[in-house]
Amino acid sequence: MRVLVVGQGGREHAICWKLRQSPQVNEVYAAPGNGGIASIATCVPIEATDIIELADFAESLRMDLTVVGPEVPLTLGIVDEFQKRGLHIFGPTRLAAEIEASKVFSKEFMKKYAIPTADATICGSLDEAVAAVDARGIPCVIKADGLAGGKGVVLPSSRDEAIATLTEIFESRKFGTAGSRVLVEECLSGEEVSVMALTDGKKVVPFAPAKDYKKAFDGDEGPNTGGMGSHSPAVVLPAEAAAEIMKKIVIPTVQGMADEGRTYSGCLFVGLMLTADGPKVLEYNCRFGDPETQAQILRLEDDLAELLLRVARRNLGETKLTWKKEASACVVVTTKDYPVGGSKGHEIIVDPMDDDSVVVFHAGTAKKDGKLYTTGGRVVNVCARAATLSDALAKIYANIGRVRFQGARYRTDIGYRALGQRAANAAT
């Protein structure tokens, strides 16, 4: 098989790494890729948003499969363009990807299909949003409607902060057109967990649950980010809750999207809060998680290329996934100014890890003249697998100092939410 992976982050590096292990895959290309991906795949200088150029490239090389990592090309209709040309591609169509592209759409969808979620008010102006904050009170959650790179969700600690946030969104256009509407939502309490599933629009096959740590600093302090670390299994998700999530949330979502004429095929990612009233949806994503995938991929026993091709062919069948009876984790190393910015151009030194089970997936890196340099906020992901979550994290933190660049920063407490509740023994 000849496979093209669209994207340039840690998630895409992990996908390329796993595809390379498939006996069916003999060539892997990445567009545009990064400094780490370049060591295992052929990187081509086409941006993930250049839909027509990507389709032309895939058509010219007769790609057997294209795998889309980030959400933006999906919301732009890359799947529609590839399908029009008879090319196999993994991911949802533009209409189906709206489940992530518009939080207003997804909230109205959940209400229509009785999928448990937080109560919210849809607001189209600053005055409406301020009135909604006053009606709901603090705490509340403010969410920009459109895509904001994982930074469009704010939990204000005061009314003044809420108004300042809304002013930035509506008047300063902080998120551009993504902030034309907002949700002012009730603030749910409990444990967050990430649930992903493969689906061909009919059959649904769950991935091993994972837990993401979004706050920038230790102790879940600071602003939201795209993710500072993750682990699988989620540990905080009981087996009965996982079954309830599939029955009451994931499967009804896939069925509801089909009923809407938006048949969903690809990876459905559901961000959830485990509340006292049961699991509730925080958000949908139309692609694999990042950094959840980096941890999950270390545990997956199955041939990823075969799985994704089955989905692309709409023939998932009775597939069941097999997972290593171990735990895995990922810690993200960022620039010092992330998530406000991402210092670029600093040389990165990655010394050999002292354990073969420790894997470094690159995110914001580029290679020039044989050297690696930073290109964005999240720079590399240090990942490991072990018999227990505590052992996997110990391996990571024993090796993370082997990644060096100016201003390197990472959370030192990834996994604390899970390990604080119960020991993370062999994965189930």
Q: Evaluate whether residue 176 is within a structural domain.
A: yes
Q: Are residues 12 and 68 in the same domain?
A: yes
Count up the domains in the chain and report the number: 2
Q: Which of 141, 161, 180 is the last residue of a domain?
A: 180
- 172 vs 179: CA distance, rounded Å: 10
Q: Letter for the amino acid at 187?
A: C
Q: Are residues 81 and 163 in the same domain?
A: no
Q: Evaluate whether residue 142 is within a structural domain.
A: yes
Q: Are residues 88 and 139 in the same domain?
A: no
**Cross-strand partners of 137:** none
Q: Evaluate whether residue 259 is within a structural domain.
A: no
- 109 vs 200: CA distance, rounded Å: 20
Contact criterion met (CB below 8 Å) for 387 and 327? yes
Q: Are residues 137 and 83 in the same domain?
A: no
Q: Evaluate whether residue 207 is within a structural domain.
A: no
Q: Are residues 83 and 130 in the same domain?
A: no
Q: Evaluate whether residue 281 is within a structural domain.
A: no
Q: Are residues 85 and 11 in the same domain?
A: yes
Q: Which of 70, 93, 116 is the last residue of a domain?
A: 93
The per-residue pLDDT string of the chain (428 residues; one tens digit each, 9 = 90 and over) reads 999 999 999 999 999 999 999 999 999 999 999 999 999 999 999 999 999 999 999 999 999 999 999 999 999 999 999 999 999 999 999 999 999 999 999 999 999 999 999 999 999 999 999 999 999 999 999 999 999 877 789 999 999 999 999 999 999 999 999 999 999 999 999 999 999 999 999 999 999 999 999 999 999 999 889 999 999 999 989 888 999 999 999 999 999 999 999 999 999 999 999 999 999 999 999 999 999 999 999 999 999 999 999 999 999 988 889 999 999 999 999 999 999 877 899 999 999 998 989 999 999 999 999 999 999 899 999 999 999 999 999 999 999 999 999 999 999 999 998 898 544 333 33
Q: Look up residue 276 and give its DSSP letter.
A: T
Q: Please, which residues have CB within 8 angstroms of residue 255's CB and are 6 or more apart in sequence?
A: none
Q: Evaluate whether residue 169 is within a structural domain.
A: yes
CATH code assigned at 171: 3.30.1490.20
Q: Which of 180, 214, 247 is the last residue of a domain?
A: 180
Domain assignment of residue 134, given as a range = 125-180
pTM, two decimals, is 0.94
Q: Are residues 89 and 147 in the same domain?
A: no
Q: Are residues 66 and 132 in the same domain?
A: no
CATH code assigned at 56: 3.40.50.20
Q: Please, which residues have CB within 8 angstroms of residue 231's CB and are 6 or more apart in sequence?
A: 210, 211, 295, 327, 328, 329, 330, 389, 392, 393, 414, 415, 418, 424
Q: Evaluate whether residue 48 is within a structural domain.
A: yes
Q: Evaluate whether residue 166 is within a structural domain.
A: yes
